[in-house]
Structure 1
């Protein structure tokens, strides 16, 4: 009975069954809103998705008591969506400014989900706390949080892990007949699982820790729980960096093998503590560790840059000798970064798990955070780091791999922190501001053509984190310029990711009333618990959904059918196994957390 009720609730919330309309007429469309809500002063656009163009039609906004607080008429058409829904129109409800909960009603259209009007702190502070809870759920090792998803200690054998030679891959095909031992044991226990599986990557952990540290440094959101989580992440990065030998370890576990190297992490659906239970397979019980480079040798600059930036940010948020030690580690990792990489950049093994092309942005990020930490700690190397940061910023601006904020491009974070430090002629403050604007204009150009004003492409991977990345960049632009040029654009991006989209779903678990119920996450799936705070990939290119994951141990769950809302070449599938849409990841959620933390502070 509970499962049936859940299924009905989800279907109704997603608009997959026809709720009773306001006057009993057949439902011909749906109203899509930001299900977390809007601040009193911001522009509040909601979207009317309908089978046929409704033309100039009245709408009503009612409060929680059913009292009418606003009437208006359908606004600008933004175009058709798919073969079943030929019209999307904007409804402006900006005049609703009094804190409270509201619905939008249109004759013949399903009532909207409830949306709130509240202060930025009230809306987004709880979202930061939820994101932190996701990272607590991702903890590995002995220091888990039992109250979150019933977590139990896992992979304790990682404290005595053996090191193996770097595996050779072609895309995601392992060419090595077997793994070759090359050292150890090393202690790499702890850290965060990377996504819905149990691999641990230095690349994504460093990005996530750095982003969480910026949130901790620059906002009041998160409190001691966020600080504890950044401490947990940095403690693991400290293990992955061997200060004595100058060795950076890149990965714990292996996710793509062959007939001889099996089972890998991706071959079994289980709780993490099962890997070391009696009778567990040795490949899972004794997980391999892989280096980023040989001891003391140059490290892929994208990876070294992210790790150095994370240590430098820890130096900015720590105090006393702890801060000085973090700065020293950051400087050593940065010094080993290759300045002329010729091979494929190191992210994960295989690289196809996290393809990345840019690296100058990572060195700009590292040098900038080193400079900020050095200035705070009166380190004599600070002027040199400032010069380095400006050099790498200029190199990035001259490159052909400039993107927007996400795990693969951190230039927006680097630029925003570098702008106050600029002193020379290699790059100017205006150059950096223009590049922030370039990233935002790229998003705004796409947004202007999209019926729901999405600035990121939802026919590519990482549409949700890239959307949050654009919203963060707009916040950073405002902070460094004082201009409101992209404020409304940032709001529209948040709206899209939190429910004002064709599917009527928030893509952050627990945010709003309709959100992913069946994520591709082994612990959440097997325990039946809600993975609160996790950000998922969201919509993806329709032809990417040919190979869902299937395991005998997977628990099936009641899901809404979003297929009728697929369009523009994109699909969204909320079903365990649909990793293309609903697998959460650390980098996704860290990016969401930073947006919510910055938004919670607000600006004038």
Structure 2
């Protein structure tokens, strides 16, 4: 066998390498999910030569030309080879079917036109599969990727004081146990590791719950998953002692303590990993990190997002599971009341630079807006500190005004680090439901103006990009920011009854799902020059509905 291997190696050394084929002169990029029939529709021609004014054709599955148009003027340069990126518009084509676009020497991959529900059905199903596959604990869902439950030891986990890290993310010393054990099983893993954090799961859960509430026919299948995330968030809050826990697992350790990122393994291996070797003690028995002493102020980003998730939970489940819903609303009010409104460094993950979040006012705006809807819906459990929905409307308006007066205003899109894109929308609706009362610190027109400000910032960015994306490709979390822009643009048009951003809703959605039948640089460019740690990937941010 060794001789055969040697011969094969020798033969491989003696074969003259085949010359690589010359680069193609053009590519057509389309939305690989397809285009809703009523949406604007744009593909892009990447070419080595200027094709402005040239004819392009759209053919159906039978090869019949069903639409013809002309190539638009170049929107910019993609690379030194593909110096021209030019739009191909076919808005009026709305018949359901499968199509290709042909122009110059290029033909696009097949794509479909159909109802929005049909176009996105597979992606929505895939998203649900992703969350189900990421489940931790005993209530996992068996599938081709998951064959066993994981981290069953989390069901009886020791709590610890928040750790201290050196600047290079090396744990200083060991953890300090607090003596109390909790059930921290459940939740979803973070991006590319097995840590579970309230920062990311609270955002994801709040978005899932909002989607289930607002789009039951499309996202009702996510209801169990949204409840699964909410259940874990409740486990990380002891309402009796008012103790807040923010993380399960340790990302980075030191020479004496292995962290999650030190190992490649299947999740179900952790509970008994390396026997009794002390190096891996926090792999086998994962620590639960407390944000502070019982009753201490809670980092406002976490308090706001938890409150939003818990309040929406109450609205969704008070009929089907009233006990669970009552627990949610009680927790929402208590957590919101403990928000630290003069924070220093926010609590995110340990170490902090895994998710270096700085903006928090929009989280409190969102939490208060969802609490308004929850309290206004009636059927409240007893013992709540606040039973007047107007209180939360005033709080939401206060934090919206505080956000819009801060340096963070309109500096980001809807994503983990800034939820104003959803908070403003919810507050606008809350003000309308309340009858537009006087005396609030902000108005519906101010909220709309701020939403427009953020969207116009995205348009300015789009003007610098050959694919017209409203967020830089080479920074961080590109896909989640694109999804956030789609949500914000749709919200603004809905609230104003206009189609101001309709073309951009379609283009930005397509930017995040564009076909990759194009030069490899399209991938390399997106991976370059990340401003945030590599751990911060799409799982850190919620789906954008």
TM bucket (normalised to shorter chain) is 0.7 to 0.9
Correspondence 1:338 to 2:340: yes
Q: Equivalents in 2 of 1:358, 1:183: separation in Å?
A: 33
Whether the 8 Å contact between 2:273 and 2:283 is mirrored in structure 1 is no
Correspondence 1:124 to 2:120: yes
How far has the Cα of 1:325 moved from its partner?
Answer: 2.5
Q: Equivalents in 2 of 1:368, 1:207: separation in Å?
A: 15
Q: Equivalents in 2 of 1:583, 1:331: separation in Å?
A: 30
Whether the 8 Å contact between 2:148 and 2:268 is mirrored in structure 1 is yes
Query: Which of 397, 408, 426 pairs up with 1:417?
Result: 426
Whether the 8 Å contact between 2:161 and 2:292 is mirrored in structure 1 is no
Query: Which of 480, 499, 516 pairs up with 1:484?
Result: 499
Q: Equivalents in 2 of 1:48, 1:100: separation in Å?
A: 22
Q: Equivalents in 2 of 1:273, 1:472: separation in Å?
A: 37
SS at match of 2:463: helix
Q: Equivalents in 2 of 1:587, 1:170: separation in Å?
A: 24
Q: Equivalents in 2 of 1:459, 1:565: separation in Å?
A: 11
Higher RCO (CA 8 Å, separation ≥ 6 residues)? 1
Q: TM-score, normalised by structure 1?
A: 0.79
Deviations 1:497-543 (A, max 9, x none): 1116xx548xxxxxxxxxxxxxxxxxxxxxxxxxxxxxxxxxxxxxx
Whether the 8 Å contact between 1:412 and 1:436 is mirrored in structure 2 is yes
Query: Which of 388, 413, 417 pairs up with 1:404?
Result: 413
Deviations 1:179-232 (A, max 9, x none): 222232111011110122100001100100000000000003455530110111
The answer for the alignment partner of 1:256 in structure 2 is: 252
Q: What pairs with 1:112-511 in structure 2 (closer than 5 Å)?
A: 112-261=108-257, 263-277=258-272, 279-280=274-275, 281-319=280-318, 320-341=322-343, 343-377=344-378, 380-402=387-409, 403-422=412-431, 423=437, 424-499=439-514, 503-504=516-517
SS at match of 1:65: coil
Q: Equivalents in 1 of 2:176, 2:139: separation in Å?
A: 31
Q: Equivalents in 2 of 1:591, 1:171: separation in Å?
A: 32
**Farther-moved stretch of structure 1 (415-424 vs 440-449):** 415-424
Correspondence 1:103 to 2:104: no
Q: Equivalents in 2 of 1:314, 1:432: separation in Å?
A: 25
Q: Equivalents in 1 of 2:430, 2:103: separation in Å?
A: 52
Q: Equivalents in 1 of 2:534, 2:543: separation in Å?
A: 17
How far has the Cα of 1:289 moved from its partner?
Answer: 1.1
Q: Equivalents in 2 of 1:92, 1:162: separation in Å?
A: 59
SS at match of 1:449: coil
SS at match of 1:49: strand
Measured at CA, do residues 270 and 362 of structure 1 come closer, stay the same or move farther in structure 2, by a change above 3 Å?
A: same
How far has the Cα of 1:169 moved from its partner?
Answer: 2.3
SS at match of 1:177: coil
Whether the 8 Å contact between 1:439 and 1:470 is mirrored in structure 2 is no
The answer for the alignment partner of 1:553 in structure 2 is: none
**Farther-moved stretch of structure 1 (456-465 vs 148-157):** 148-157
Q: Equivalents in 2 of 1:329, 1:425: separation in Å?
A: 26
What is the total number of aligned residue pairs between the two structures? 502
Q: Equivalents in 2 of 1:224, 1:464: separation in Å?
A: 23
Q: CA RMSD in A?
A: 2.1
Measured at CA, do residues 456 and 64 of structure 1 come closer, stay the same or move farther in structure 2, by a change above 3 Å?
A: same
Q: TM-score, normalised by structure 2?
A: 0.88
Measured at CA, do residues 42 and 222 of structure 1 come closer, stay the same or move farther in structure 2, by a change above 3 Å?
A: closer
Deviations 1:222-262 (A, max 9, x none): 5553011011111111111111110111000011122122x
How far has the Cα of 1:18 moved from its partner?
Answer: 7.3
Which blocks of at least 5 consecutive residues in structure 2 are unaligned?
A: 1-19, 381-386, 432-436
Q: Equivalents in 1 of 2:337, 2:241: separation in Å?
A: 14
Whether the 8 Å contact between 1:249 and 1:292 is mirrored in structure 2 is yes
Q: Equivalents in 1 of 2:240, 2:176: separation in Å?
A: 23
SS at match of 2:27: strand
SS at match of 2:39: coil
Deviations 1:571-603 (A, max 9, x none): 449xxxxx9889854343x223x2xxxxxxxxx
Deviations 1:81-139 (A, max 9, x none): 11111111111122321100001112322x21111100011112332222111100110
Measured at CA, do residues 222 and 266 of structure 1 come closer, stay the same or move farther in structure 2, by a change above 3 Å?
A: farther
Q: Equivalents in 2 of 1:304, 1:478: separation in Å?
A: 30
SS at match of 2:158: strand
